[in-house]
Amino acid sequence: MSTLEITKREEEYLETMYMLHRNKGIIRVKDIAKLMKVKPPSVVDALKKLNEKGLVHYEKYDRILLTEKGRKIAEATYSKHVLLTEFFVEILGIPPEIAEQDACQFEHYVHEITAERIKEFAKFIQEQCPYVLKQFLKEKLTEDKRKR
Amino acid sequence: MSTLEITKREEEYLETMYMLHRNKGIIRVKDIAKLMKVKPPSVVDALKKLNEKGLVHYEKYDRILLTEKGRKIAEATYSKHVLLTEFFVEILGIPPEIAEQDACQFEHYVHEITAERIKEFAKFIQEQCPYVLKQFLKEKLTEDKRKR
DNA sequence: TCACCAAATTAGGTTAGCCAAAAATGTTTA
DNA sequence: TAAACATTTTTGGCTAACCTAATTTGGTGA
């Protein structure tokens, strides 16, 4: 319940749990471990800490749930993830897999102001010079294909 | 001399030393500590490890230098730093201080492909629709001022 | 030149995060 | 319903990175 700071890694655990809850309805140690590329004992460690911080409801062998507070953090992170991925793919024309990797890191650091501005910029460009943007993406897509 | 992996934090130490070398000519434990916001003993720990990995020349009480290998890594990181900061400021119109903070994190993760594409995109937009870009920046600058 | 001060280093200790192996619990199936 | 299997948890131990306090070294001014 404390107001301790949250680490980048903890934010990643929260986001993973949030996605599992959305996709499968149930959050399992095993599945968290798989997505986070760690072993189950590491997940248990993390769950205990997050429980202490009031971000998840965790009691051993019981079902795992995010608290209201944990869910809010996860949602905020997830929405930055989506925003960044879209920007990388739709504006810069980065291959989705790479965009995903970059977003996955940057989402934990990006300033609110920067995130907001990226969103506004994307909208502005798409509205004000859609043709130029399409030209850029087409050019880059062609180059990327040639490289393969 | 080993081919061990380099951590994000080590990359930060290298970059800091690189900047100190450029700006002051000499690299001091005290100055690294100040810039990295850590205490001197932490710097010494880091120097020992980086020395082991062949990235700095370090012998106690002696002058500190980056090796060729260390310098190359630092330069690569630094150039991403510059690129990202410029993009955030000149294209998105983010306040320099915030742009700096974001760049400082993202530089350690950003994929080569993404970095390159950001550079190309900035050039493209500046050449193809400079007026639209100026309009966006002006608009945002006005909004930012109003908020203060 | 030597005593003093600043800088660097060592010693010893903390925390976050990870793991393998073993133990405990939960679930399923014969 | 009890054995077998799967999942979770505990135990004990590791590394990276940080710190404070104490010590050592290097340079400087009287």
3-state secondary structure of B65: strand
Q: Does domain A75-147 have CATH number 3.40.50.300?
A: no
- Indicate if CB(B96) is under 7 A from strand D: no
What residues does each domain of chain A span?
A: 8-66, 75-147
Q: Is the CB of residue A93 less than 8 Å from the CB of residue A141?
A: yes
Q: How confident is the model at residue B1 (pLDDT cuts 50, 70, 90)?
A: very low
Nearest CA in chain A to B107: A106
The CA distances from residue B126 to A132, B113, B132, B133, in Å, are 11, 20, 9, 7
Res B147: pLDDT: 81
Domains A8-66 and A75-147 share a fold: no
Nearest chain A Cα to B121, which residue?
A92
Q: What is the pLDDT of residues A2-52, one digit of tens each?
A: 456 899 999 999 999 999 999 999 999 999 999 999 999 999 999 999 999
Per the prediction, chain B carries an average pLDDT of 95
For tokens 């993406």, the residue is: A137
* B61 strand D contact, CB < 7 Å: yes
How many angstroms separate the CA atoms of A31 and A33, rounded?
Answer: 5
Q: Which pLDDT score, from 0 to 100, does residue A3 have? A: 54
Contact B61, B106 (CB under 8 A): no
Residues in B touching A92 (Cβ below 8 Å): 114, 117-118, 121
The pLDDT value recorded for residue B54 is 96
Q: How far is B53 from chain A (nearest CA, A)?
A: 26
The third-level CATH classification (topology) of the domain covering B8-66 is Arc Repressor Mutant, subunit A (1.10.10)
**Residue B53 above 50 pLDDT?**
yes
Decide if B94 and A113 are in contact by the 8 Å CB cutoff.
yes
Residue B79's CB is within 10 A of a number of other CB atoms, namely: 13
pLDDT at B4: 67
What mean pLDDT do residues A58-84 have?
97
Q: Which nucleotide is nearest to B45 (CA to C1')?
A: D17
DSSP A88: I
CA distances (Å), A113 to each of A80, A99, A125, B92, B108, in order?
12, 20, 18, 10, 20
Mean pLDDT, chain A, whole residue set: 95
Tokens 């609110």 belong to residue? A112
Q: Alpha-carbon Rg of chain A, whole angstroms?
A: 18
Asked whether the predicted pLDDT for residue A1 surpasses 80, the reply is: no
Q: What is the pLDDT of residue B2?
A: 46
Q: Are A65 and A50 in contact (CB under 8 A)?
A: no
- Mark yes or no for CB contact B93/A117 under 8 Å: yes
A96 in reach of chain B (CB within 8 A): no
Percent pLDDT > 70 in chain A is: 97
| pLDDT score at A57 | 98
Residue-wise pLDDT tens digits, B92-110: 999 999 999 999 999 999 9
